[in-house]
Amino acid sequence: MNNLSKLRKDIDKCDRELINIFSKRFSVVKKVALYKKERNLKSFDPKRWREVVDKMMLLSKKNKIPEKFVQSILDSILKESLRIEENIISKNSKYVKK
């Protein structure tokens, strides 16, 4: 195997890990949504959103990853998380176990 093939395999492994991490995150998001639903809490918590963004921006600086890039990805992840929560909290949720 040449160097480029090896490097591409490494990238493929990283990509699989990213998907697994997204899956784990969204699984926890569903649990959070059920918790909020049981306690009649709102899906959107602006304070928590800000905390997550701030922590990730600091981490991106520390790891020398462009902030704009991290902000873009984080925005997508948080919006999808919120969408999942709102679906679960709504009355006709397909995620809620019956």
Q: Is residue 95 part of a domain?
A: no
From residue 13, give the alpha-carbon distance in Å to each of 10, 17, 20, 53: 5, 6, 11, 26
Decide if 96 is inside a domain. no
Taking Cα atoms as reference points, which of 87, 93, 89 lies closest to residue 35?
89
Does a structural domain hold residue 97?
A: no
What mean pLDDT is predicted for residues 68-87? Answer: 97
Mean local confidence (pLDDT), 11-23: 98
Number of domains in the chain: 1
What's the domain range around 82? 3-89
Per-residue model confidence (pLDDT) at position 7: 97
The pLDDT assigned to 94 comes to 54
Closest CA to 84 of 27, 24, 17, 45: 27
pLDDT tens string 33-62: 999 999 999 999 999 999 999 999 999 999
Domain membership of residue 15 (yes or no) is yes
- Flag whether 72 is in a domain: yes
Q: How confident is the model at residue 98 (pLDDT cuts 50, 70, 90)?
A: very low
Please name the residue ranges forming H helices in 1-98: 3-38, 46-62, 67-89
**Which CATH number covers residue 44?**
1.20.59.10
**pLDDT(91) > 90:** no
